Each structure stands twice: as structure tokens, then as C-alpha cells.
Amino acid sequence: MLDTSRLALAGLSASLRSVREMIDHDKPYPREGTLTCPGLQHELRFESVSFSHDARRRKALDNVTLAIRRGDVTVLAGPSGSGKTTVGEALSPLVGLEYRDGDDMHPQANIDKMAAGIPLNDADREPWLKQIGQWLADRPEGAMVGCSALKRKYRDLIREYCPGVVFVHVHGDFDVLYERMQHRPGHFMPASLLQSQFDTLEPLEDDETGRVFDVTRPASEIAGDAAAWIKAGA
């Protein structure tokens, strides 16, 4: 029992030395700047925190309350032709977030399949959705991505990487989107696949953080309303 106590005290002494070395006033501290916290999912909160290097000295922190919120993570959702990229690029400077078109993250096999007029299935989309989720999770400062996110389980998969993600769903009638797709020369997805997307589409549910915007409105108006909604806390 005595030996065990000695070992415990020895370990505690070593720990105290490590803490003392860490807070030594002669140690160079980081300069002003920014640090990333990749594991942060919602926010980091300190409530009524006090700290001093020595109990007899003035407190370095005295009853400080602070919340460091993770940056906003937004998915521009909707079928092809709904204007996700146009709205995303208009929204990006309004909220100060990087925007990326999710189509650029498709593996080549998916692109070839769609170009051949064959709809993607769940197995095709899974690695693509995981890549989108990881890309968003790697940006604690916040980011936006365009992704059809047609099914609830697709959106849930993204939420596994970013629990606080919000969805700006740009939606319109089939005929409106089909007409738009006729004027996208060079895009790998043909208009003939639009019906398969509408067949797959599952609207946002009540427990999902998202908002639907009418595709017939000007992109600048949609972006302005979406920015106000996001800044208000979505």
C-alpha cells in the first residue's frame, strides 16, 4: 500500500512540474493570430472561468465567460438546374464563407455514368456525400457547398460529419428546371436525368434545419434572404 502511495505521489509531482513548466512566465507564448480546432462541432464555451499563475498574484482571468462558435456550414440543396451554384456564388460574399460546387467532387465513374444518361443510385452517391461531409468538416471557419442532397438519408450522412449543417433548398417546378438545363452546354448531366432526381427527392422534414427558396426569384434576392436567415442563427 505504501509503495502504491509513493508511486501516486511521484506521478503527481511530475504532473505538477509539467504544469509549472507550461505556465512559466519565461516561456514564449504564441503571437496574436488564429488557431483552428478541427474537432469542434458546435461551440466551445467557458463560463465564469478564473485563473492565476500564482494564488498570491493578480488573476490572469477573472470570471470570464466566452463562447467560440464553429463557423456556419451550409449546403445549397436542390435538383439539377435549380441554380445552386448561382445562388451559392452570390451568397458567399454576403456571409463570408467559401463556396464550392459539389459537382466538382464527383468521382469520374459517377460523371461517366451520368454523361451516359444513367441515374446514380445510393451506392454511387455514398462516397461523394462522404467527401462533401469531410470537406465541410475540415473547415471549422465555416463553408458552403452545392449538393443536390435529395434524400433524407443523404442529408443525414452529411450531418454525421457536420451536425450543425443548415440546408438552403432552392426548388422549382419540373418544367422550369428542365428548361434551364437545356441551356447548360458542356455540363456532364443531361436534362433527361432530371425526372430521376424528382423521383428521388424527399423534401426537408420538420426536424431538419433548412429553408426552401423559390427558384423563380432572382438569385440575388434568394442570396440576400438566405444570408439574413443564416446570420440570424438559421
Q: Can you list the domains of the chain with their CATH numbers?
A: 37-69 (no CATH), 73-231 (3.40.50.300)
Helix axes 108-115, 122-137, angle to 10 degrees: 130
Bridge partners, residue 76, by sequence: 146, 168
pTM: 0.71
* pLDDT level of residue 100 (50, 70, 90 thresholds): very high
Q: Report yes or no: 224 and 189 within 8 Å, Cβ to Cβ.
A: no
Instruction: State pLDDT tens for residues 182-231.
Output: 888 778 999 999 999 999 999 999 999 999 999 999 999 999 999 999 98
The average pLDDT across 111-122 equals 96
Residue 36: count of CB within 10 angstroms of its CB: 10
Which pairs count as long-range contacts for 4-10, CB under 8 Å and 24+ apart, including other chains?
none
Question: For residue 215, what pLDDT is reported?
Answer: 95
* DSSP 3-state of 10: helix
176 CB neighbour count, 10 Å cutoff: 15
pLDDT-derived band of residue 172, with 50, 70 and 90 as boundaries?
very high
3-state SS, residue 186: coil
Residue 58's pLDDT is what? 60
Res 18: pLDDT = 54
Q: How much is the pLDDT for 61?
A: 55
Note the pLDDT tens digit of each residue in 122-171. 999 999 999 999 999 999 889 999 999 999 999 999 999 999 999 999 99
Question: Up-side HSE of residue 210: CA atoms within 13 Å toward CB?
Answer: 25
**Residue tagged 432552392 (cell numbers):** 170
pLDDT digits (tens, 9 = 90+) for 7-59: 444 555 655 565 555 555 454 544 544 444 444 444 545 566 665 656 556 65
| Rounded alpha-carbon distances, angstroms, from residue 21 to 17, 24, 26 | 6, 5, 9
Taking 3-state DSSP, the helix, strand and coil percentages for the chain, each rounded to the nearest 5, stand at: 45, 20, 40
Share of the chain above pLDDT 90, in %: 63
